């Protein structure tokens, strides 16, 4: 830990922010339940460290500065051994290398959609993953089907909220960040002098809207407790983005409301077997719509 701290302080003394890997569950501003079974090492930017004031300044998704104590940062950095004290410094960009890097990034994206994955099953990546997921949503026979892995009520609720979290909340901007990728394609078109890339960008904005529609299908308004769950999850995320750690009292209140809704849903789930099949069938249709849009793009 001493070497990791020394590297961090040396980087800051050089006038550069440092990207470090820290466990999301150990950083108090995330207000996530900390237990031995859950961890997630994610990169955050450290741009200030005051040992005397026991304060570290962090940039991490929120539109306001975030702070933790020196001990909290140390614990978060040390949570997972392989990422312990990991640090990255970004050099000044070299414009001469930018076109090559942009082109390589686009090809990497295309390969993940259409070719064998870097590791794991082909059905976990790209267009094949959409088709595989769509099948698992409605076919109860496969070992990994939703019927077997996410049985109602508790399992189904966990599956629905987990997918919604990753589509609409995890990260920053929602829409599975397809709008962000569309903006990148607009910029890449200028950098590479390839106008066709800008012509593709609107399709990824269409995909972003389709991902947002999927989020509403997962937790629909016409099933009131599910719609309320979606609304509260989005509000929690919005409060964090706008106010950071200052929003913690409100976030904890929302967490209490979400816990109460969860118990209500588990105790008296509002759908029978046919209703669950209809819900998952609608989710499947939205997944396939995303597949078609992104396959064309």
| pTM score of the predicted model | 0.93
pLDDT in tens, 92-141: 889 999 999 999 999 999 998 988 877 878 888 999 999 999 999 999 99
35: pLDDT confidence band, cut at 50, 70 and 90? confident
pLDDT in tens, 57-98: 999 999 999 999 999 999 999 999 999 999 999 888 899 999
204: pLDDT confidence band, cut at 50, 70 and 90? very high
Rounded Cα distance, 10 and 227, in Å: 48
- List C-alpha distances in Å: 87 to 1, 21, 55: 12, 7, 19
Is pLDDT at 216 greater than 80 in this prediction?
Answer: yes
DSSP letters spanning 194-227: -HHHHHHHHHHHHHHHHHHHHHHHHS-TTSHHHH
Is residue 185 within 8 Å of residue 102, measured between CB atoms? no
pLDDT in tens, 237-292: 999 999 999 999 999 999 999 999 999 999 999 999 999 999 999 999 999 999 99
- DSSP, res 89: -
pLDDT in tens, 134-181: 999 999 999 999 999 999 999 999 999 999 999 999 877 789 999 999
Name residue, tokens 């996410």.
150
1: pLDDT confidence band, cut at 50, 70 and 90? low
């Amino acid at each position: 830990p001493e070497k990791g701290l020394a590297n961090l302080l040396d980087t800051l003394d050089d006038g550069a922010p440092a990207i470090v890997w820290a466990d999301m569950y150990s950083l108090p501003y995330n207000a996530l339940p900390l237990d031995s079974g859950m961890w997630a090492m994610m990169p955050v930017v450290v741009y200030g460290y005051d040992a005397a004031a026991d304060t570290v300044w962090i940039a991490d998704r929120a539109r306001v500065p975030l702070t933790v104590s020196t001990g909290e940062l140390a614990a978060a950095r040390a949570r997972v051994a392989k990422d312990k004290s990991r640090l990255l410094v970004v050099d000044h960009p070299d414009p001469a290398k930018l076109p090559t890097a942009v082109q390589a990034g686009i090809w990497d994206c295309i390969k993940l959609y259409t070719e064998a994955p870097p590791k794991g099953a082909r059905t976990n990546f790209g267009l094949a993953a959409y088709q595989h997921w769509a099948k698992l949503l409605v076919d109860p026979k496969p070992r990994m089907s939703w019927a077997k892995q996410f049985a109602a009520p508790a399992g189904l609720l966990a599956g629905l909220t987990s997918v919604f979290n990753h589509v609409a909340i995890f990260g920053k901007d929602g829409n599975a960040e397809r709008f962000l990728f569309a903006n990148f394609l607009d910029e890449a078109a200028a950098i590479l002098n390839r106008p066709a890339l800008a012509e593709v960008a609107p399709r990824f904005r269409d995909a972003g809207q389709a991902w947002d529609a999927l989020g509403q299908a997962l937790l629909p308004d016409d099933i009131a407790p599910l719609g309320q769950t979606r609304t509260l999850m989005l509000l929690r995320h919005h409060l964090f983005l706008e106010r950071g750690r200052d929003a913690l009292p409100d976030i904890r209140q929302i967490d209490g409301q979400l816990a109460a809704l969860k118990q209500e849903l588990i105790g008296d789930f509002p759908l029978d077997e046919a209703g669950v099949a209809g819900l998952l069938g609608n989710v499947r249709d939205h997944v396939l719509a995303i597949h078609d849009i992104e396959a064309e793009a």
